[in-house]
Structure 1
Amino acid sequence: MTVFDDLAGQEAAIEVLTRAATAARTGSAGMTHSWLITGPPGSGRSTAAKAFAAALQCTGEPVGCGECSGCRTVMSDSHPDVEILATEATTITVASVRELVSHAQSTPTVGAWRVMIIKEADRMVERTTNVLLKAIEEPPPRTVWILCTPSPRDVLTTIRSRCRGLNLVIPAAEKVADLLVRRDGIDPDAALIAAKAAQSHVGAAKALARDPGAGERRRENLRGAYGIRTAGHAALAAQALIDRSKVQAEAEGENRADREIAELRRTLGLAPDETIPPAMRSHFKQLESEHKKRETRRIRDAHDRALIDLLSLYRDVLVVQLEAGTDLVNVDFEKEIEDIAGSITADKTIAIMDEISLARERIGANVAPQLAIEAMMMVMRR
């Protein structure tokens, strides 16, 4: 067992990171102080970053052994020299990056390196990225920066040029299924179906295999697209998809919000039912603001996951129309896929796929989801 075991189908990347960690241990050439790990959603960017951090702190054999104290504390998020910056809001704040840059100047306390990981570095706006620029360009001798983002184009050229790039690939569905079976104890057949439906997105595959609600939302979204015949159908299907995304986001965030409010009350010495004094209301307003930002992010992510599912449906339709002989992603919708393929042309299918991609871009650019998804659904009429 090593720290890289959860990186499904990323053998080439594992080899690069292992060589770099070995060079860091021996002091030989091959180690870089700034990294940019890219790859499609679900490919394991954050997993790779944490595994590399563990390998840098590893004291066992082989490098990244997974058994020594350094490996175990990094993988359990408790190593004092490894800091991870992530956000559940739509953007990473300047203040949080400044704090991370300040911490990066310190020397390691118990490990060999200070490792600073920024998940979803694409969520930094330009002025936030500029705060980071000098720290990445001239890091202290024992500090390593690891940025994770879907594409190199998601960060400024000035950042990209100062980092060593490592691109992760889309793993085979079979590799993802093997990981779910080995790590999560999921039934092999269910794991493979989920891995294919999730298009090898590890997190989404696990959710589909474990959470009946996630699987049912996916099926309802695909059935909604299949049933569009008129403008009225399109509007109803769009509203239903948006409502399901909101329900999903609320379910994911509700328990956490309640826990955070209860914790804040305990911290401030308030009883569960005690009225909040005026002097303390600002604390609760700030927490409420954070909850709203996180909810916006969760809803946007839920919309995007649903649109990716629809994109996979019409990818399957195109496979059938072109007689490509490639395995279907949505094997449980084979009949509906055949029906759609026989009722529209391949050109129409490509136009629908383009419209789905455009809807994803529009929502990412803060266009109202209702407008973007309704416009997309109108194109799906047949």
Structure 2
Amino acid sequence: MTVWDDLQGQDAVVTQLKLAAQGDSLTHAWLFTGPPGSGRSNAAKAFAAALNCDQDQLADRGCGSCASCHTILAETHPDVTFVRTEKVTITIDEARDLVSSAGNRPSNGRWRIIVVEDADRMAERTTNVLLKAIEEPTPRTIWMLCAPSPADVLVTIRSRCRPVALRVPPAADVARLLVRRDGVDPVLAERAARAAQSHVGIARRLARDADARERRLETVRFPLGLRGVTAAVMMADKLVKIATAEAGSSNEERDAAEKAALLATLGAPESGVLPPALRGQLKQLEEDQKRRAKRSITDSLDRTLTDLLSFYRDVLIVQMGNAVELVNVELQGEIEEFAARSTPEVTLARMDAINKARQRITTTNVAPLLAIESMASSLI
């Protein structure tokens, strides 16, 4: 098993990165782009492992079995830094720390590698901090930036990076990955991959969590009962509650574990009032957790609206003559009845309303419930 095995449906990208790892057109900065779930960060991680692989033969780099490959894939290698944020943006101070560490020589491997998984979550001022480091790189340092599209990164940055464009893998490839890597039943794996629209991470969650599958089906079925303004308001409220509950279920346990770990590290008493010197650190942790919770809810709402969008996508497919397979095959009869009651133009307008709500929620400070109520009214 090599580091490339989990990059399903990305044969062209694997070939490009393999050649670069062997010294063909290797450069100091790379930009990995592709839709959510295409595996941008996984491709960057595999490339980092291949570059620092312990194998002497170039053709064997990225073996997946040496110590360097194992530690890089586990994100514990001292020369490979992975940067991701669970807040709204990567801060300018974090960017400055990256630039500072980029100047250090590698301690074990051939290269010091910095993988920025959320390059699209940097403000222009923050991105400019990285610009000089990427323009004039230190020897033995490689930058790998990940973003949904080249347009999400400043032109001054992307013009200095070699592009690696990933595509959405076929659902069949994602299903095979779930069967091989996670031991999922083939029928369930195929259903999860199709429902996730080939997003590997979401497909894995759907395959392993029956409640997640039920919540998704409830979301997709909402348009079938949308008959008036009252139903639209109720649908909006339910959608927000579904997304908030899904985000909160994962955050509460993690927040408690982080707080306990911090108190243990600081040697704080198990009960009673904290000493003043420790209160500041605990308050900082709580503020970080609040920012993470806000992003978690935003991301969960976006996924929920993406599921809702898949219903109208299927309706449009039926209206246009069933040229491709439906995402929600289990609702085919109901989708066909729904499609017969409207036109492709109406369906496109409804899809546009959902996409506008997604944009408002992820890029502005609008209250999510207001944005989704406005969207739901447009779907009647």
Give me the whole-angstrom Cα distance separating, in 2, the residues matched to 1:264 and 1:168. Answer: 38
Q: Counterpart in 1 of 2:27?
A: 32
| Distance across 2 between alignment mates of 1:82 and 1:225 | 46
Identity %: 53
Q: How many residues align?
A: 376
Q: Report the counterpart of residue 26 of structure 1 in structure 2.
A: none
Aligned to 1:369: 368
Alignment of 1:302-341 (within 5 A): 302-341=300-339
Residue aligning to 1:93: 91
**Runs of 4+ more than 4 Å apart:** none
Q: Counterpart of 1:154?
A: 152
Q: Distance in 2 between matches of 1:332 and 1:184?
A: 24
Judge which range, 173-182 or 340-349, deviates more: 340-349
Instruction: Please list, as runs of the form range in 1=range in 2, the aligned pairs for 1:255-334 lying within 5 A after superposition.
Output: 255-334=253-332
Cross-structure match for 2:44? 49
Comparing 40-49 and 275-284, the one that deviates more: 275-284
CA contact (8 A) 1:54 1:74 kept: yes
Unpaired runs of 5+ residues, structure 1, are: 24-28
CA distance in 1: counterparts of 2:81 and 2:88, whole angstroms: 20
Kept in 2, the 8 Å contact 1:37–1:168? The answer is: yes
TM-score normalised over the length of structure 1? 0.96
2:206 aligned with 1:211, yes or no?
no
Instruction: Give the alignment's TM-score, normalised by structure 2.
Output: 0.97
Q: Which amino acid aligns with 1:16?
A: Q
* Mapped contact 2:196–2:202 kept (Cα < 8 A): yes
2 CA distance for matches of 1:376 and 1:283? 41
Q: In structure 2, what is the Cα distance between the partners aligned to 1:176 and 1:371? A: 35
Corresponding letter in the other structure for 2:34: G
Any stretches of 5+ residues in structure 2 without a counterpart?
none
Q: Secondary structure at the match of 1:218?
A: helix
How well do the aligned residues superpose, as a CA RMSD in angstroms? 1.0
Matched residue, 1:380: 379
- 1:49-105 CA-to-partner distances (Å, cap 9, x unmatched) read 100000000122512111122211111111110001111011001111111111110
How big is the shift at 1:151?
Answer: 0.5
Measure how far apart 1:38 and its partner are. Answer: 0.2
Please show how residues 178-217 of structure 1 align to structure 2 within 5 Å.
178-217=176-215
Q: Partner of 1:248 in structure 2? A: 246
Output the CA distance in 2 between the equivalents of 1:274 and 1:220.
45
Structure 1 contact 262–272 (Cα < 8 Å) conserved:
no
CA distance in 2, matches of 1:272, 1:336: 56
How much has 1:339 moved relative to structure 2?
A: 2.1
The more displaced of 253-262 and 215-224 is 215-224
Q: Which amino acid aligns with 1:33?
A: H
Shift of 1:268: 2.2
Deviations 1:336-382 (A, max 9, x none): 2112101221111010011111111111122221121111111211x
